[in-house]
């Protein structure tokens, strides 16, 4: 309920949040529409090649004989699934590491933060290139999402830890400990609800990062090129020289979707982050009272 109240307040009072929310809603609807694709989207030469937009093919066709509109809807769905999988896995790791390290302190904190800092200093992109090259024959959206999730949690773990360092000194924490509540129950029953809004903002950033990394890997040819994603759409458009041949409907479709997706996730993340600022929340309360 707290999450829905937060979304409702932001929709009423924050224009940037409304902008991002509307764009994300449109993209999600397009992703759902992809379920109704009447043919296998990986099949080539279903339609005549390089046709301009028409009533039959809303965005035209590409050089592989595929409908660009339907290909884009499936690409949006796969990219969002990848981002959500990566964000879910990285959130679980970040929450567990950050909350436990922040609450327990001492030796446990030092060990967990040593592991965390090790991931911070590792050059993630070259490592992802190596992993993608090794798994290229077996890689798919789910596997790539898991790989990205395992490398995208370290910064947020530190942020969650900082918040728990403050919460563990509050009176309600001391009351819970004196009542006989165990450490695990204190962390996940008493502290986690305070961290959830921050997790929301951080999750949007992580989804954005995961999708961006997939696009980068796909453009380099290091992901599964048979599976439609925003990255693979750009890859095939570049391979067939869509820019030089003037097939703007092919190259601009995934590029513009990426731009709007980045804008939507960024504005949503910034809006939620500012809402979490006590000064901003106080201002919203005053506006509500007026």
From the CB of residue 198, how many other CB atoms can be counted at a distance below 10 Å? Answer: 17
Going by C-beta distance under 8 Å and a sequence separation of 6 or more, which residues neighbour residue 32? 77
Residue 283's pLDDT is 45
> How many C-beta atoms lie closer than 10 Å to residue 203's C-beta?
22
Selection from 285, 284, 289, 286 nearest residue 17 by Cα: 284
Distances (CA, A) of 85 to 41, 170, 235, 237, 289: 22, 34, 22, 26, 40
Per residue in 144-162, pLDDT (tens digit) is 999 999 998 988 898 888 8
Provide the pLDDT for residue 177: 79
Structure tokens at 69: 């509109």
CA of residue 116 relative to chain centroid, distance: 21
**Predicted pLDDT at 135:** 78
pLDDT digits (tens, 9 = 90+) for 28-79: 999 999 988 887 777 888 889 989 998 888 899 999 989 999 999 999 999 9
Residue with tokens 């790539």: 144
Q: Which helix (H) or strand (E) holds 171?
A: helix 171-178
Q: Which of 15-19, 108-112, 182-186, 221-225 has the lowest mean pLDDT?
A: 182-186
Which tens digit of pLDDT belongs to each residue from 230-284? 999 999 999 998 988 888 999 999 999 999 999 999 898 888 877 766 544 544 4
Q: What does the alpha-carbon distance between residue 217 and residue 128 come to, in Å, rounded to a whole number? A: 8
Tell me the domains of the chain and their CATH numbers. 2-34+57-289 (1.10.3720)
Q: What is the pLDDT of residues 116-148, one digit of tens each?
A: 988 888 888 888 888 888 877 778 888 899 999
pLDDT of residue 258: 94
Model confidence band, residue 169 (pLDDT cutoffs 50, 70, 90): confident
CA distance 215 to 53: 25
- pLDDT score of 226: 84
């Amino acid at each position: 309920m707290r999450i829905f109240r937060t979304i409702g307040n932001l929709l009423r009072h924050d224009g940037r949040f409304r902008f991002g929310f509307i764009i994300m809603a449109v993209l999600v609807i397009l992703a759902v529409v992809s379920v109704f694709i009447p043919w296998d989207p990986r099949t080539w030469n279903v339609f005549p090649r390089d046709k301009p937009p028409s009533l039959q093919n809303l965005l035209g066709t590409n050089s592989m004989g595929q409908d660009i509109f339907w290909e884009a809807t499936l690409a949006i769905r796969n990219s969002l699934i990848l981002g959500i999988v990566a964000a879910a896995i990285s959130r679980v790791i970040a929450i567990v590491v950050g909350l436990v390290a922040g609450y327990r302190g001492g030796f446990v904190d030092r060990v967990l933060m040593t592991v965390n800092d090790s991931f911070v200093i590792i050059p993630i992109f070259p490592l992802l290139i190596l992993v993608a090259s090794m798994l290229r024959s077996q890689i798919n959206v789910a596997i790539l999402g898991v790989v990205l999730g395992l490398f995208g949690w370290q910064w947020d773990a530190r942020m969650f830890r900082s918040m728990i360092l403050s919460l563990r000194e509050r009176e309600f924490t001391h009351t819970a400990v004196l009542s006989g509540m165990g450490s695990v129950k204190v962390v996940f029953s008493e502290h986690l609800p305070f961290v959830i809004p921050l997790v929301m903002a951080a999750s949007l950033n992580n989804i954005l990062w995961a999708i961006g990394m997939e696009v980068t890997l796909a453009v380099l040819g290091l992901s599964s090129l048979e599976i439609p994603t925003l990255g693979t759409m750009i890859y095939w458009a570049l391979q067939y020289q869509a820019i030089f041949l003037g097939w703007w409907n092919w190259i601009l479709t995934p590029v513009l979707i990426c731009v709007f997706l980045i804008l939507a996730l960024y504005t949503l993340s910034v809006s939620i982050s500012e809402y979490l600022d006590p000064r901003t929340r106080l201002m919203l309360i005053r506006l509500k009272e007026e």
